Structure 1
Amino acid sequence: MWPVWCFGEVLIDFLNIGASEEAGLRLPELRQYPGGAPANAAVAVAQLGGQAGFIGQVGDDAFGHFLLHALQQKGVDISRTVIHPTAPTPLAFVLLDANGERSFEFLRRDSADVLFRPEQFLPQWFQGQGILHLCSNTLTEAAIAATSMYGVEKAHEAGWWVTVDVNLRANLWPGKQIDVERVHALCCAADVIKISREELQVLGGEPRVAQWLEAGCRLVLVSDDGNPLYFATSAAHGGLSGWVTVPRVQVVDTTAAGDSFSGAVLYALARCLPEQPALLSDEQALRAVIGFAIACGAHTVQRKGAFPALPQFNDVAAAWQL
């Protein structure tokens, strides 16, 4: 099985779990959870039984040490996770509406995660074969964007696969203005892209899928809430395309659903590609990968939080058809 290394932010999700009334004020009740999209994906891989590690940076504060402990406790290799001596650990406040849908507020200015620099990617990290996974949240500032693309370049030079969960969060961008071309450039450098239908429209719509495949991407996965998921592969992998049905479940919290899906795809690729290099050219096998990932996402939305909601393999073993 290949190792999966996830690069980017690990942060505290303060999740809105209710509210109370006091002195005429409605006071939201918040619970501290470990989170961050790439960190969630790493935990998802580890929970399923894969070899997962996290590349990134936390602050030398109570939150940072809590996150390091949480990653390690979930089986994630933190040997490439750095403690910054002065910058704070990033924080996110996740507010839920009556339907379990989220809104976000972030405390991330000059936080430890965005201060990771290219020279911190060490050449020996890319020995052998593996997968580097990242999201668009490390593109929000020029310096961390350059670091992200440097890591992608080094991964490709070593023959690694690069996977991207687009995971747009406008609140993280200066003036809430997403740099579409910067995100597009990352997608053009990816082997596998996971993106929502809404995010795809922000980046330019359906033509982008063809552009990414022509640029060298092997597989694009487009989720659409509870609607069927669309997939497309490059010509080199048969030019396959189609839809996979998503089951209806009772949604409690969608906080890590996409990360659970991405982690399951990563796990399946890391487990199967060493013995099945033509995996993405086999439509039946590809549909099995996607179906398994959908089952993991469905498991996660029925539970609160990020790390605690991610399934272990036994939870979703019935969905594994590979």
Structure 2
Amino acid sequence: MSTRLPAVTVVGSINLDIIATTDRLPTAGETVGGGILQQQPGGKGANQAVAAARLGGSARMIGAVGDDAQGRLMLDALAAAGVDTADVAVLDGDATGTALIVVDREGENQIVVCPGANSAFSLDGVSFAPDETVLCQLEVGLPVVLEAARRSTGFFVLNAAPAMDLPAELLERCDLVIVNETEYELIPALAEAKLVAVTYGKDGSAMFEHGRKVAEAPAASVAVANTIGAGDAFCAALVLALGAGLDYSAALAVANAVGADAVSDPSSQPALAPLEEYVARVAEARVAAR
């Protein structure tokens, strides 16, 4: 593994997460009482940028917040985590994106996203370095993601969430697509993509080349506190591990270990150790299993 982690630029969403924790999720038309309310920084893009920074990578965030108190809070949280926020736009007249989240005692969740400023920004004036890894998701407008794909000349990664039909041009540009098992089923075109990482929750993760499984790694068994930021932490870790030169199975195992730490933390932007600690942990586990 290289000691130098890649520079990662995340193009994506920045949200305020408003989270109600209850014993169980409500059914349609039902009111569930006894909830505990909290607010914290979130958004798939911001979560991934923060995870990359906390894992020891150089992380830059491209996105937008509103010119409001929530937006200032999101910018402060990104900067405090070590993320470069120089290219985060502050949009007058647009509210900062907000996610309304209900989480049950098992860590399962229901989420409604109100995009606000996330749907109103562009890449005007933004440039990408030739060796820069670019990581996108689909909580911002598809035109922005397509423009990032066209401008980026380095390693381009798409976390295809939430699931939607993807233009052929975008899929052809992706060096790596990351999805969970439900998203993999909802986007049939991924079976033809050059490289796709699929997460299976407690069943681990796998890597596919043009629909053929080429690597897999088991998940660690942990107590689940919150699954909201786990997939985002996995994405950041996998991108950094691959960029550091780990092979597919080792990179998946490291990303699984990071995701396990993330689900055991109630925050959408969990505390994480440096990536090399997870690499060492995975190596020790492999030696012990022989």
Bin the TM-score by the shorter chain. Answer: 0.7 to 0.9
2:215 is equivalent to residue 249 of structure 1: no
> Structure 2 matches for 1:259-274, cutoff 5 A?
259-272=232-245
Change (3 A) 1:148 1:27: same
- Consecutive unaligned residues of structure 1, counting only runs of 5 or more, are 139-143, 169-177, 214-218, 273-278, 280-284
1:244-269 deviations in whole A, cap 9, x for unaligned?
11122111110100001001012223
Q: Residue 194 of structure 1 is aligned with which of 167, 172, 178?
A: 178
Distance 2:22 2:133 in 1: 38
> Structure 2 matches for 1:43-82, cutoff 5 A?
43-82=50-89
Paired residue type of 1:112: A
Distance 1:52 1:269 in 2: 16
Q: Residue 149 of structure 1 is aligned with which of 146, 150, 153?
A: 146
Give SS of 1:14's match.
strand
Q: Residue 133 of structure 2 is aligned with which of 117, 131, 134?
A: 131
Match of 1:175 in 2: none
Shift of 1:121: 4.5
Distance 2:50 2:42 in 1: 10
Match of 1:103 in 2: 110
Distance 1:264 1:25 in 2: 36
Instruction: Please state which structure has a larger fraction of its residues in helix.
Output: 1
Distance 1:263 1:105 in 2: 23
Number of equivalent positions: 272
Q: Is the CA contact (8 Å cut-off) linking 1:84 and 1:112 kept in structure 2?
A: yes
Paired residue type of 1:242: A
1:182-212 deviations in whole A, cap 9, x for unaligned?
4x653332111111111111112xxx34411
Distance 1:8 1:187 in 2: 17
Distance 1:228 1:25 in 2: 32
Match of 1:14 in 2: 18
2:192 is equivalent to residue 211 of structure 1: yes
Shift of 1:27: 5.4
Q: Residue 115 of structure 1 is aligned with which of 94, 117, 120?
A: 120
Shift of 1:234: 6.0
2:260 is equivalent to residue 298 of structure 1: yes
Shift of 1:65: 0.2
Distance 2:41 2:137 in 1: 17
Distance 2:64 2:145 in 1: 13
Distance 2:273 2:204 in 1: 24
Q: Residue 9 of structure 2 is aligned with which of 1, 5, 8?
A: 5
Change (3 A) 1:242 1:270: closer
Paired residue type of 1:180: D
Q: Is the CA contact (8 Å cut-off) linking 1:121 and 1:151 kept in structure 2?
A: no
Distance 1:17 1:60 in 2: 29
Paired residue type of 1:249: V
2:161 is equivalent to residue 160 of structure 1: no
Paired residue type of 1:253: N
Paired residue type of 1:70: A
> Structure 2 matches for 1:232-243, cutoff 5 A?
232-233=208-209, 241-243=214-216
Give TM-score scaled by structure 2 length: 0.85
Give SS of 2:197's match.
strand
Question: Identity across aligned pairs (percent)?
Answer: 24
Distance 1:147 1:93 in 2: 24
Match of 1:174 in 2: none
Change (3 A) 1:121 1:199: farther
Q: Is the CA contact (8 Å cut-off) linking 2:204 and 2:256 kept in structure 1?
A: no
Change (3 A) 1:12 1:229: same
Shift of 1:240: 6.7
Distance 2:210 2:186 in 1: 22
Give TM-score scaled by structure 1 length: 0.77
Structure 1 residue ranges (4+ consecutive) displaced by more than 4 angstroms after TM superposition:
none
